């Protein structure tokens, strides 16, 4: 094994320890006889937090295995993934580049300003060009232009994201002293949901755990196929222990209604757990609605995944 890879694996091991699991209380949980805990992946690392960390870990290892020291990815102007990738590059000695949807003036927003400080090269493209980000021809042209780069898709959701998110499931199985009936997560590009499904597919003991993704964007049914594709790549055969809830988009990606804002404020006051309204706030709102609708069975032990993304709050304030 190359020395630089061994060094990276050591760094990865020493920097980040399992995130805490925190039980939260609410009269609704008592009424419905449910236990709800939050897997605090927002506490994994000050900058490479949440599911971004989980999804990037094995991408970094894979790149280094091949002696590649440059990671290129895609994102919106306030992307948590881009912010985390820039931080990871800075920490672990990778050059980073990003194809950003939108105009160059976005480089002055808090997310991209910080990414640049960490050494990331930003390339702004039109929305029309950005739409090509999954097309083989476009990706090949990009690879030709950035011949030394390891290309990671938007959101970090590829086959290498799966083992990273699955590690979280192994942590949960050790941390939980009773059966886990349900895991709930916010869903954007689908890698986190796929990783959770894979992580709870592996052994007989946990096969009863159901996974629910809360889609944060409108018309998200296409994500079912995306998640299935990722699972296929991970050799997980047609799992049925999962669902994608698509009715909680609240008007679309990054749309924040007064109701959602108020919910986030109250949630923070009651639990002391910080959330932002684009992913985690929407997910917790949906969780409460699903509980009211008796989506869960009495006695269920539910884990809600805090996927981080709190850096986005600064961007939201500046918009």
Ligand X SMILES: Cc1ncc(COP(=O)(O)O)c(C=O)c1O
Other CB atoms within 10 A of residue 277 CB: 23
Residue closer to ligand X (CB basis): 10 or 218: 218
Which residue number has the CB closest to ligand X? Answer: 309
Tokens 């706030």, residue?
Answer: 281
Residue closer to ligand X (CB basis): 34 or 223: 223
Residue closer to ligand X (CB basis): 93 or 167: 167
How many whole angstroms separate alpha carbon 311 and alpha carbon 293? 32
Least distance to ligand X, CB of residue 283, Å: 8
Here the tokens at position 5 are 């890879």
Least distance to ligand X, CB of residue 250, Å: 15
First to last CA, the chain: 46
Least distance to ligand X, CB of residue 230, Å: 9
User: Does residue 304 sit in helix, strand or coil?
Assistant: strand
Residue closer to ligand X (CB basis): 140 or 211: 211
Residue closer to ligand X (CB basis): 89 or 308: 308
Q: At residue 59, what are phi and psi to the nearest 5 degrees? A: -70, -40
How many whole angstroms separate alpha carbon 9 and alpha carbon 176? 27
Residue closer to ligand X (CB basis): 50 or 199: 50
User: Does residue 109 sit in helix, strand or coil?
Assistant: coil
Tell me the β-bridge partners of 3. Answer: none
Residue closer to ligand X (CB basis): 5 or 316: 316
Least distance to ligand X, CB of residue 154, Å: 8
Contact 248, 285 (CB under 8 A): yes
Other CB atoms within 10 A of residue 75 CB: 25
Residue closer to ligand X (CB basis): 50 or 250: 50
How many whole angstroms separate alpha carbon 41 and alpha carbon 44? 5
Least distance to ligand X, CB of residue 52, Å: 6
Length of the chain counted residue by residue: 319
Least distance to ligand X, CB of residue 214, Å: 9
Least distance to ligand X, CB of residue 239, Å: 16
Least distance to ligand X, CB of residue 191, Å: 4
Residues at the contact surface with ligand X, assessed by CB under 6 A: 50-51, 80-81, 155, 157, 186-193, 279-280, 307-309
Residue closer to ligand X (CB basis): 93 or 163: 163
Here the tokens at position 235 are 């050799």
How many whole angstroms separate alpha carbon 59 and alpha carbon 44? 18
Which residue, 49, 24, 18, is CA-closest to 310? 49
How many whole angstroms separate alpha carbon 141 and alpha carbon 107? 24
Cα-based distances in Å from 279 to 15, 130, 243, 254, 306: 25, 22, 17, 8, 9
Least distance to ligand X, CB of residue 307, Å: 3
């Amino acid at each position: 094994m190359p020395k630089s890879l061994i060094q990276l694996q050591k760094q990865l091991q020493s920097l980040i320890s399992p995130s805490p699991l925190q039980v939260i209380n609410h009269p609704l949980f008592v009424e419905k006889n449910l236990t709800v805990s939050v897997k605090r992946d927002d506490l994994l690392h000050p900058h490479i937090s949440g599911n971004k960390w989980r999804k990037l870990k094995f991408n970094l290892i894979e790149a280094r295995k091949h002696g590649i020291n440059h990671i290129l990815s895609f994102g919106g102007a306030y992307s948590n993934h881009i912010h985390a990738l820039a931080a990871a590059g800075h920490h672990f000695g990778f050059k980073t580049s990003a194809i950003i949807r939108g105009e160059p003036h976005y480089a002055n927003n808090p997310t991209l300003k910080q990414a640049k400080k960490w050494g990331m090269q930003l390339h702004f493209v039109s929305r029309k060009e950005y739409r090509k980000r999954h097309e083989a021809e476009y990706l090949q042209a990009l690879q030709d232009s950035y011949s030394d780069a390891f290309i990671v898709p938007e959101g970090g959701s590829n086959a290498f994201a799966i083992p990273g998110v699955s590690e979280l499931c192994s942590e949960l199985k050790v941390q939980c002293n009773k059966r886990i009936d349900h895991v709930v997560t916010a869903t954007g590009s689908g890698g986190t949901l796929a990783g959770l499904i894979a992580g709870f597919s592996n052994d007989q003991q946990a096969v009863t755990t159901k996974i629910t993704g809360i889609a944060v964007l409108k018309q998200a049914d296409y994500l079912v196929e995306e998640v299935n594709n990722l699972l296929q790549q991970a050799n997980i055969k047609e799992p049925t222990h999962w669902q994608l809830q698509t009715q909680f988009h609240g008007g679309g990606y990054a749309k924040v209604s007064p109701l959602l804002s108020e919910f986030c404020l109250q949630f923070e006051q009651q639990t002391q757990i910080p959330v932002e309204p684009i992913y985690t706030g929407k997910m917790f709102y949906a969780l409460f609605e699903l509980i009211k609708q008796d989506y869960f069975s009495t006695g269920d032990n539910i884990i809600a995944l805090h996927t981080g993304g709190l850096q986005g709050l600064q961007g939201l304030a500046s918009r």
